[in-house]
Each structure stands twice: as C-alpha cells, then as structure tokens.
Structure 1
C-alpha cells in the first residue's frame, strides 16, 4: 500500500516537473522582451527541475537507500537559478535594455535622461551637490 502511494507521488512529481519545464520553455519563446522572457527559465524551469529531481530522489531512495547526490543537486539548482536570473536582470538594467511598450512599470534605471532639477532649483556654480 505504501509503495503504491509513493509511486503515485513520484508520478505526480515527474508530471508536475515536466509541465513546469514545458511552461517555462513556452514563456521563453513566446514572451516579448528580455525582462518578460527572464521569468520562464528563472521561475518555472527551476520548479520543473526541482520537481523532477525530488521525484527521482524518492524513487531511488525506495530502491537503493538514501540518495544524497540528488538532494545536493536540488539545493544547488534552487540557489543558483534565481541568483543567475538576478544577475542577468541587473546586467540588462545596467546596459539600459529597453522593455516592450506594453510592459507595466518602468524601473528608475530605464527612465529617460530627464534633468533632475528645474531651472529655479538647479545648483549654482561648481557645487558637486544636487
């Protein structure tokens, strides 16, 4: 009874992992700009790989005993994928990569170069202060 229940959990994790990975791949191909495309691999594909590894870890734990390597891989993926997505987003902001016009919100880094002061408020002389 317990073994058939665990096989159901394993099947669910593998199907959920495949569905998350597929949805992440669709997001990567169909979304309009870099910032939108970044969500596919960073969020859903991380969950897809995580679910697949957890299902595999349960399966091999039933047959061969505890599996440490897959647990370590799961932790590594959950830590590195969001960090790398954050670094890609920061790099895109640094290079002022323009978002699609339909994207809501606009980070300060991407706003057009507007003067920070009006003529009346602008600093006088060579003062480095704003």
Structure 2
C-alpha cells in the first residue's frame, strides 16, 4: 500500500467520524431542552466533529500531492476559541438565571456564585480601608 492510499483511507475514516459527531451533536441540540445541556452538544461538534472534517481535508490534500496548512490554522483557532465562547455562553445563562444556579460552595459564600461581596466581611473591610 502506498502512502496515497493510506491517506485516502484515513481521510474517509476521518469524514465518517466527523459526520457521526456532527449528527449526534445536532440530535443533542434538538432534543435537549435546558440551555446548559444544549450547550454541551454543539461544543463537542465544534471541537471533535469539525476537527475530524478538517483532518480529512488535510489528509486529502497531502494524498493528492498538495500541501495545505490552512486546516491546521483553522483547527488551532477553533480549539482555542470554542471553549472560551462556550464559557461565555454558560456565564450569560447563569447571570440571566435561564438555568439552575450553580451549587453552593462548601466553604466560601461568594466564590463562583452570584452573591454580592457585601456579604463577605473580609471584602467589606478591605473596601472600607480603601476609601
């Protein structure tokens, strides 16, 4: 087997895996009813599904003898920006109270919650000393 045939089989396998993840992500987006659970399905599609499609494109371009690095740049951009945008969408849903609030922390009242820092005596005394 030549490298071109192996790359073609690899591209076909990557296309199948990517299409499978995209299909599952679309079904999850349609079936889930809560905004936070809906957010989970497209983030997996964005990273794994589209990443596999881009890998298939990269393998195909190398199989036909052309080098293309655009796919690597797109993958790098996608893998850097997708988690950040998902985090922002989740925070907006939490602050709009469109979903269940995060669980109460065990030790600190203001850590990672929507409580105001006025309830924390250490923060209130620090603000009082700054004024």
Answer whether TM exceeds 0.5 for this pair.
yes
Q: Match of 2:59?
A: 58
Q: Match of 1:69?
A: 70
Question: Structure 2, unaligned stretches of length 5 or more?
Answer: 105-112, 126-131
Q: Does 1:107 align with 2:103?
A: yes
Displacement, 1:71? 1.0
Q: Match of 2:10?
A: 9
Q: Does 1:37 align with 2:38?
A: yes
1:38 counterpart SS class = helix
Q: Please give the TM-score of this superposition, normalised by the length of structure 1.
A: 0.74
Q: Is the 8 A contact 2:25 2:45 kept in 1?
A: yes
Q: Please give the TM-score of this superposition, normalised by the length of structure 2.
A: 0.73
Describe the superposition over 1:3-59 as per-residue Cα deviations: whole angstroms up to 9, x where unpaired.
222211111000000111111111111012000000011123321100000110110
Distance 2:99 2:61 in 1: 46
Higher percent of residues as helix: 2
Describe the superposition over 1:88-122 as per-residue Cα deviations: whole angstroms up to 9, x where unpaired.
001111122224xxxxx9434479xxxx8xxxxxx
Instruction: Say what the alpha-carbon RMSD is for the aligned residues.
Output: 2.3
Map 1:91-102; keep pairs closer than 5 Å.
91-99=92-100
Q: Is the 8 A contact 2:36 2:99 kept in 1?
A: no
Q: Is the 8 A contact 2:61 2:68 kept in 1?
A: yes
How many residues align? The count is 110
